[in-house]
């Protein structure tokens, strides 16, 4: 007979079981099945240095954030064995936003003079951070079509320390071969970092394909309800800093460097935000099943509409990355982009929908529509990453799909 404190090894269970249980044991004092919100800044010490559970100040660690970080690490490390000493296959870190997570990672693994390869259709906020914040700091970057492995290999320099991948990309939904790019990065002594926001850990697990670090804007699908902003890093156990770099805390492991910078910079997730994100993670699998079923139906409708000149969705056989996505992912996701021939028409469609809400962001239960060129990707206008001005991006929600199709039909009429 098991005692209440015993539980299975969550690393051997399915995704939904891990997402619901990992890092979330019932509260030891009350038996509450949901981790409480530890809305506290500091913790009583039992004598100087006598910390209870290692907690002293909530910037450094908070029990609610710890629960989220352990759950995210378990969600992303499916298919990876524990290390020989029994420690987890990955370590999670939760931040105040996705860009806070990215900034912390880049500060931890780069130094002036280093070089980063980025997607030539990267998320605008990521490109702005790399080009306009880290550029003046002395970090160079090269935008590359990451669907072309040879092009990535050709862009590698001796100074390349990070190959940054989004797959699928935002908003053009390009699909990159994570395993092949991991090979290119590691041959060069660089880290492979994968932004897994669009795919989510339910549909794709880059660490199992060779990535060193996974990035999330947990604001999106992980939170899933458009009510919390957050970000996360999940670092593979054993990942080493590039180029012989040492962490300010000592050691050469990426996880240790990220942990040091998370505490030193302090852009951490607050306890209530962590609790909301943890709640969203529990239902990620069932929501994603509905998101992608609806997205497939919407994409098929758009592909047959005479006013639409192109539909971009990895689930369509016409998508150039369709076969790779089918191998690399559990499903094709909930994002659909399409083109209508002119900016004026794109803006008109965005203005006409009633069920799709005109708004930035994505991944919530409600359907959203936006014009990337004027909205989320305005910061890359005039650069190599500029998106087509007739592009419309949909975040397909979990409403009744008949209503979503009817709404788009009205908007396109």
The number of C-alpha atoms within 13 Å of 324 and in the hemisphere containing its C-beta is: 17
Q: What tokens does 387 get? A: 């998106």
Q: How far apart are CA 34 and CA 21, in angstroms?
A: 10
Catalytic residue among 25, 59, 148, 289: 59
Say whether pLDDT at 348 is over 70.
Answer: yes
Three-state DSSP class for residue 354: coil
Domains of the chain: 10-279 (3.40.640.10), 286-412 (3.90.1150.10)
**For residue 100, which of 230, 242, 282 has the smallest C-alpha distance?**
230
407 is catalytic: no
Give the pLDDT score at 87. Answer: 78
**Residues 20-71 pLDDT 10s:** 999 999 988 899 999 999 999 999 999 998 999 899 989 999 999 999 999 9
Q: What's the pTM value of the predicted model, to 2 decimals?
A: 0.94
Say whether pLDDT at 8 is over 80.
Answer: no
Give the pLDDT score at 2. Answer: 40
Mean pLDDT for the chain overall: 94
Give the pLDDT score at 81. Answer: 72
Give the pLDDT score at 6. Answer: 64
The arithmetic mean of pLDDT across residues 153-157, rounded, is 98
Give the pLDDT score at 383. Answer: 79
91 is catalytic: no
**For residue 111, which of 164, 163, 159, 153 has the smallest C-alpha distance?**
159
Give the pLDDT score at 172. Answer: 94
**For residue 406, which of 297, 307, 311 has the smallest C-alpha distance?**
297
Give the pLDDT score at 79. Answer: 65
Q: What tokens does 43 get? A: 């913790």
**For residue 95, which of 69, 67, 113, 56 has the smallest C-alpha distance?**
69
Least confident of 71-85, 217-231, 279-293: 71-85
Catalytic residue among 43, 55, 93, 123: 123
Number of H helices, E strands in the chain: 13, 12
Phi, psi of 52 (to 5 degrees): -90, 110
313 is catalytic: no
According to DSSP, the β-strands at 310-312 and 335-339 are: antiparallel
Q: What tokens does 282 get? A: 């529990």
**Residues 141-152 pLDDT 10s:** 999 999 999 999
**Residues 180-195 pLDDT 10s:** 999 999 999 999 999 9
Give the pLDDT score at 1. Answer: 36
Listed in sequence order, the residues at least 6 apart from 346 whose beta carbon sits closer than 8 Å to its beta carbon are 339, 340, 371, 373, 389, 390, 391, 392
Give the pLDDT score at 254. Answer: 98
User: Could you tell me what percent of the chain has a pLDDT over 70?
Assistant: 98
Strands (E), 128-189: 140-144, 160-166
Within 10 Å of residue 28's Cβ, how many Cβ atoms?
9
Three-state DSSP class for residue 243: helix
**Residues 93-132 pLDDT 10s:** 999 999 999 999 999 999 999 999 999 999 989 999 999 9
Phi, psi of 359 (to 5 degrees): -165, 155
Catalytic residue among 195, 212, 253, 273: 195
Catalytic residue among 220, 287, 330, 339: 220
Say whether pLDDT at 5 is over 70.
Answer: no
- Give CA angle at 293 (288, 294), nearest 5°: 100
Give the pLDDT score at 386. Answer: 86
Say whether pLDDT at 3 is over 50.
Answer: no
Say whether pLDDT at 369 is over 80.
Answer: yes
Three-state DSSP class for residue 100: helix
Say whether pLDDT at 7 is over 80.
Answer: no
The arithmetic mean of pLDDT across residues 289-305, rounded, is 98
120 is catalytic: no
Q: How far apart are CA 159 and CA 156, in angstroms?
A: 8
Whether residue 21 contacts residue 7, with contact meaning beta carbons closer than 8 Å, is answered with: yes
Q: How far apart are CA 85 and CA 161, in angstroms?
A: 29
Give the pLDDT score at 265. Answer: 96
């Amino acid at each position: 007979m098991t005692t209440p404190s015993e539980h299975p090894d969550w690393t051997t269970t399915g995704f939904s079981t891990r997402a619901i249980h990992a890092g979330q044991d019932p509260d030891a004092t009350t038996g509450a099945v949901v981790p409480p919100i530890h809305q506290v800044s500091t913790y009583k010490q039992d004598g100087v240095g006598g910390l209870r559970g290692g907690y002293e100040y909530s910037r450094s660690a908070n029990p609610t954030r710890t629960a989220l970080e352990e759950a995210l690490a378990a969600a992303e490390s499916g298919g990876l064995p524990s290390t020989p000493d029994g420690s987890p296959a990955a370590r999670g870190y939760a931040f105040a936003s996705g860009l806070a997570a990215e900034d912390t990672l880049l500060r931890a693994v780069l130094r002036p003079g280093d070089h980063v390869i980025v997607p030539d259709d990267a998320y605008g906020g990521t490109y702005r951070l790399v080009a306009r914040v880290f550029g003046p700091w002395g970090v160079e970057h090269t935008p590359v079509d990451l669907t072309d492995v040879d092009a990535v290999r050709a862009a590698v320099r001796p100074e390349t320390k990070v190959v940054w991948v989004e797959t699928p990309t935002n908003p053009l939904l390009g699909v990159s071969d994570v395993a092949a790019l991991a090979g290119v990065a590691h041959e060069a002594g660089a880290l492979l970092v994968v932004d897994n926001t669009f795919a989510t850990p339910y549909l794709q697990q880059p660490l199992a394909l060779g990535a060193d670090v996974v990035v999330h804007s947990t604001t999106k699908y992980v939170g899933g309800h458009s009510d919390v902003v957050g970000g996360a890093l999940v670092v593979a156990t054993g990942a080493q800093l590039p180029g012989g770099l040492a962490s300010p805390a000592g050691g050469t492991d990426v996880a240790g460097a990220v942990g040091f910078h998370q505490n030193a910079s302090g852009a951490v997730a607050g306890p209530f935000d962590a609790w909301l994100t943890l709640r969203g993670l529990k239902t990620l699998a069932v929501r994603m099943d509905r998101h992608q079923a609806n997205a497939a139906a919407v994409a098929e409708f758009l592909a047959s509409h005479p006013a639409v000149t192109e539909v971009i969705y990895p689930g369509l056989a016409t998508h150039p990355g369709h076969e790779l996505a089918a191998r690399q992912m559990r499903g094709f996701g909930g994002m659909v982009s399409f083109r209508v021939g002119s900016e004026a028409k794109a803006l008109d469609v965005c203005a006409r929908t009633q069920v799709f809400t005109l708004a930035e962001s994505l991944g919530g239960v409600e359907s959203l529509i936006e014009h990337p060129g004027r909205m989320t990707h305005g910061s890359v206008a005039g650069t190599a990453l500029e998106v087509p001005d007739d592009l419309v991006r949909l975040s397909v929600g979990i409403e009744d799909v008949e209503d979503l199709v009817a709404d788009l039909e009205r908007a396109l009429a």
